Amino acid sequence: MRLFIRTPWPNNNKYVPHLLEHCILQTNNINDFINIQIPIYATTATWYTEFEFDKKNLNSLQKKLEAPINKESFNLEQRIIKRELNWASFWQKVYIDTLRKISWNKKLISNSIENWIKFEYVIKYQKKYYKKENMILVDDKNELINFWWMEKTIKFDPEIKQESIIKYKLTKFQWEAFDNIFTEYKTPYDILILDFFLDFINDYKYYIDTNKWKYRYDYSDISITDKYMILNFEKWYLPKQINKEFFECYKKTYINDINEWKNRTYIPIIALFTWYYISKKQHTNFIENIDINTIKNISQNSNY
């Protein structure tokens, strides 16, 4: 199971939601440490926090989320995060550099410790954002679960407007890094066509390079940010011609993967930011409406 919480960055800095994520699970109780803190995976991304856990830990996590953090955890985790951020990985540095380059906000900070942050400030932040109306709960197949979090009504399967697919183009303003993209796009389907387009272009380039005897050591399949980086910094990456047979085969496989609960990673995050949930059936219908001319138009008309 996965729980997603909207967690904006105060003062354009990831530090507060990151610190809170650490404090939520922190415990000195040995039993809780073994059975709650270790099994529950937590991470803070751009504008949301995610907890991944087994169903048996749901009630324990609920209690942790509802209880205010204590000052002992606050002080301990600040020291731990300081070490984490002082030893930022290469990909953490790539992430924030990319975020700044392609975002409208050049002052975003991902790896900076805020010494002015007080315990009372984090408590206030927790009270404001760790609420049911800011949460989405899904199962292991990314299917929505109607549980105690679902106070806000989720709308299912908004109408697909075909003209928005045909006219779609990628612009520098729309190219928001990683999960920030969900706060900028206008409809749930924008992110789905972007996801399909980036996957297709990346795999098609791999196909072209292979046939040219090129070794693809830089092949990327991790995140939207990775795929964006290739397109943004290597503009030649967009192909001038697209093989129709490859496109049709790729789309068929992509749809089959959706039916097998793959290619659904962004569905709960879309719901978190738009309050629209795209069913598997509607997802496949949407992809089926994408034709090769759509991909060509996006590739040729995009404004970088």
Say whether both 164 and 281 belong to one domain. Answer: yes
Cβ neighbors of 191 (< 8 A, separation 6 or more) are: 181, 182, 185, 266, 270
**Domain for residue 149, yes or no?**
no
Report d(CA 124, CA 130) in Å as an integer.
10
214 compared with 81, residue with greater pLDDT: 81
Report d(CA 59, CA 297) in Å as an integer.
48
Q: Are 142 and 264 in contact (CB under 8 A)?
A: yes
Is the pLDDT score of 176 beyond 50?
no
Banded model confidence at residue 93, pLDDT cuts 50, 70, 90: low
CA–centroid distance for 190 within its chain: 14
Report d(CA 74, CA 84) in Å as an integer.
15
Can you give the residue range of the structural domain that contains 204? Answer: 155-301
**Domain for residue 231, yes or no?**
yes
**Domain for residue 145, yes or no?**
no
Please say which residue of 110, 138, 166 terminates a domain: 138
Say whether both 132 and 269 belong to one domain. Answer: no
Region 33-62: what's the mean pLDDT?
A: 90
Q: Residue 168's CB: how many other CB atoms inside 10 A?
A: 20
Instruction: Return the residue matching tokens 């969900």.
Output: 182
CA–centroid distance for 241 within its chain: 30
Say whether both 218 and 279 belong to one domain. Answer: yes
Report d(CA 71, CA 77) in Å as an integer.
10
111 compared with 157, residue with greater pLDDT: 157
Which tokens go with 98? 């990319």
Say whether both 132 and 44 belong to one domain. Answer: yes
Q: Which of 53-57, 231-235, 258-262 has the lowest mean pLDDT?
A: 231-235
What is the number of structural domains in the chain?
2
Cβ neighbors of 37 (< 8 A, separation 6 or more) are: 25, 26, 27
The enclosing domain of 57 has a CATH number of: 3.30.830.10
Q: Are 78 and 143 in contact (CB under 8 A)?
A: no
Which tokens go with 97? 């550099």
- Whole-model pTM? 0.74
Region 215-244: what's the mean pLDDT?
A: 57
271 compared with 300, residue with greater pLDDT: 271
Say whether both 14 and 81 belong to one domain. Answer: yes
Say whether both 130 and 162 belong to one domain. Answer: no
* High-pLDDT (> 90) share of the chain, %: 27
Q: Residue 279's CB: how many other CB atoms inside 10 A?
A: 13
Say whether both 40 and 68 belong to one domain. Answer: yes
Is the pLDDT score of 167 beyond 60?
no
Is the pLDDT score of 5 beyond 90?
yes
Banded model confidence at residue 160, pLDDT cuts 50, 70, 90: low
**Domain for residue 37, yes or no?**
yes
AA identity, residue 51: F
Report d(CA 108, CA 177) in Å as an integer.
11
The pLDDT value recorded for residue 19 is 93
270 compared with 238, residue with greater pLDDT: 270
Is the pLDDT score of 206 beyond 50?
yes
